[in-house]
Structure 1
Amino acid sequence: MGATSLGLDAFLLVICLVPFLHNAAAIRFVIDREECFSHNVDYQGDTVHVSFVVIKADTPWHYTQDGVDLVVKNPTGDQIYDSRDKTSDKFEFIVQKRGVHRFCFTNKSPYHETVDFDVHVGHFSYFEQHAKDEHFGPLFEQIAKLDEALYNIQFEQHWLEAQTDRQAILNENMSRRAVHKALFESAGLVAASVVQVYLMRRLFERKLGSSRV
C-alpha cells in the first residue's frame, strides 16, 4: 500500500511539473534595421528549435519578397547559425555551451517588416533526477518524451499559423492592388473618352463654322 501510494504521488508530481520542463518563447515584432533577442539555455546538450516568418512589409503600393537575415551566437559570441535573405526559416541546433544565446535579425529592405519569431528548448529533465524506485525510470522517460512531442506539435502549429498569416496578408495586398489597378485603368479610359468627345466637338464646330462662311 505504501509503495503504491508513493508511486501515485510521484506520478502526480511529474504531471504537475510537466508544463515547467520546457523553455519556450514566441514573439511578433516590427523590425526597422536590426533587432536582437537573448534566450537562456540552462543545459548543454539541449535541442533548440527556432522558426521565423516575415509576415508582411509596410509597403501597400509595392509587392515585395524581401527577407531578413538571422545570425545566432552562443554565450561566448561564436556564430552557430546564419540565415540570409529569407522570408521564413525553421531549424534546430544542439547546445554546445549552456548560457545566453543571441538571435539578431537584420532588415536590409527600405520598409518596416513584421516578423513572427519562435524559440523552443527541448530538454529531458529526468536525466538529472535520481529515482529511488527503478520502475519510475521508464515512466519518467515516457512522460518526458510525450511532453517533448506535444511541444513539437505546438511549435509546428505556430510555424504553420505564421505562414498562413503571411499568405493571407499577401493575398489581401494583391487583391487591393488589383482593385486599384482596375480603378486607375477605368479612370484612364473615362478620361480618354472625355478627351475624344471634346476633340470631336471642336472638330465639328470648326467644320460648321467654315461651311457657314
Structure 2
Amino acid sequence: MMDGRGLRLGYFLVLCLVPFLRHAVAIRFVMDRGECFSHNIDYEGDTVHVSFVVIKADTPWHYSEDGVDLVVKDPNGNQLHDSRAKVSDKFEFMVQKRGVHRFCFTNKSPYHETVDFDVHVGHFSYFDQHAKDEHFGPLFEQMRKLDEDLYNIQFEQHWLTAQTDRQAILNENMSKRAIHKALLESAALIAASAVQVYLLRRLFERKLGASRV
C-alpha cells in the first residue's frame, strides 16, 4: 500500500509533468491537386517541428521524384516556410504570432499522392514565479531535457517509419514492374521463335516443291 506521503509525491510528479505535454498532429492522407490543414498554436516562442513524406502514388507504374509543395503561413498570412518539389522534408520554426497556422500542400503530378504529415509543437512553461525552493529549478530543468529527448526520439521514429514505408512501396512496385517486364520479354521471345519456325517450315516446303518439279 502507498502511504500518504508517497501518494502526495505521485500527485506532485503528475502535476509537474502536465506543463511538458506537447500538441501533436500526425496524419496520412491521399491528395489530388491540393490540401490545406490548420493548427492552432497558443504561445509565441514555441518551436514547431514539421515533417512530411510522399509515401506512394495511386498507380504502381508511376515513379518520379517530382514531389509536392508545402507552404506554411502564420495567422496574418505571412509565409514562414516554403518546400518545393520534395518527396520528403523535415524542418522547424519558432512561432512569432500565436493563433491558427496553415499548412498547404500542392500536388503537381497527374496522380493522387499518399502523404504522411507530422506536426509537433514544443512548449515549456517556466516556473520562476512559482518555485520557491532552490532545488526546484534543477529538477524542472532535468525534466525539460528528458521531455525534449523523448520527443526527439518520437519525432525521428515517425520520420523514419514514413521513409521506410515509402521505400517498401517503391521496392514492391519495382518488383512488380520487373516481373511484368520479364513476362513481356518471354512472350515476345516465344512469339519470335514461333514466327521463325513458321518461316523455316514455309521455306522448306517451297524448296521441296521446287525439287519435285
Under a length normalisation based on structure 2, what TM-score does the superposition of the two structures give? 0.91
1:14 to 16, 25, 31: 16
Partner of 2:169: 169
Cα deviation, residue 9, structure 1: 4.3
User: For residues 195 and 56 of structure 1, do their structure 2 counterparts lie closer, same or farther at Cα, with a shift above 3 Å needed?
Assistant: same
Q: Which amino acid aligns with 1:11?
A: L
Deviations 1:36-86 (Å, cap 9, x if unpaired)? Answer: 011111100000000000111122223222200000000111111000000
Partner of 1:191: 191
User: For residues 194 and 5 of structure 1, do their structure 2 counterparts lie closer, same or farther at Cα, with a shift above 3 Å needed?
Assistant: closer
Map of 1:1-213 to 2, 5 A cutoff?
Answer: 9-15=11-17, 17=18, 21-127=21-127, 130-213=130-213
Cα deviation, residue 125, structure 1: 2.2
* Counterparts of 2:185 and 2:7, CA distance in 1: 79
Cα deviation, residue 130, structure 1: 2.2
Residue aligned with 1:126, SS: coil
Of residues 131-140 and 49-58 in structure 1, the stretch that sits farther from structure 2 once superposed is 131-140
Cα deviation, residue 139, structure 1: 1.6
* Counterparts of 1:187 and 1:12, CA distance in 2: 68
User: For residues 98 and 179 of structure 1, do their structure 2 counterparts lie closer, same or farther at Cα, with a shift above 3 Å needed?
Assistant: same
Q: Which amino acid aligns with 1:70?
A: L
* Counterparts of 1:127 and 1:78, CA distance in 2: 32
The alignment of Structure 1 onto Structure 2 pairs a total of residues equal to 210
* Counterparts of 1:4 and 1:136, CA distance in 2: 18
Unaligned runs of 5+ in 1: none
- Structure 1 runs of 4+ aligned residues shifted over 2 Å read 2-13, 125-138
Q: RMSD in angstroms over aligned alpha carbons?
A: 2.2
Under a length normalisation based on structure 1, what TM-score does the superposition of the two structures give? 0.91
Q: Which amino acid aligns with 1:46?
A: D
Residue aligned with 2:126, SS: helix
Cα deviation, residue 129, structure 1: 6.3
* Counterparts of 1:77 and 1:69, CA distance in 2: 17
Deviations 1:78-126 (Å, cap 9, x if unpaired)? Answer: 1110000000000000000011100000000011111100000111023
Deviations 1:135-184 (Å, cap 9, x if unpaired)? Answer: 32322232122112211110011001111111111111111111111111
Q: Which amino acid aligns with 1:36?
A: C
Cα deviation, residue 3, structure 1: 10
* Counterparts of 2:171 and 2:10, CA distance in 1: 53
Identity level (%) = 79
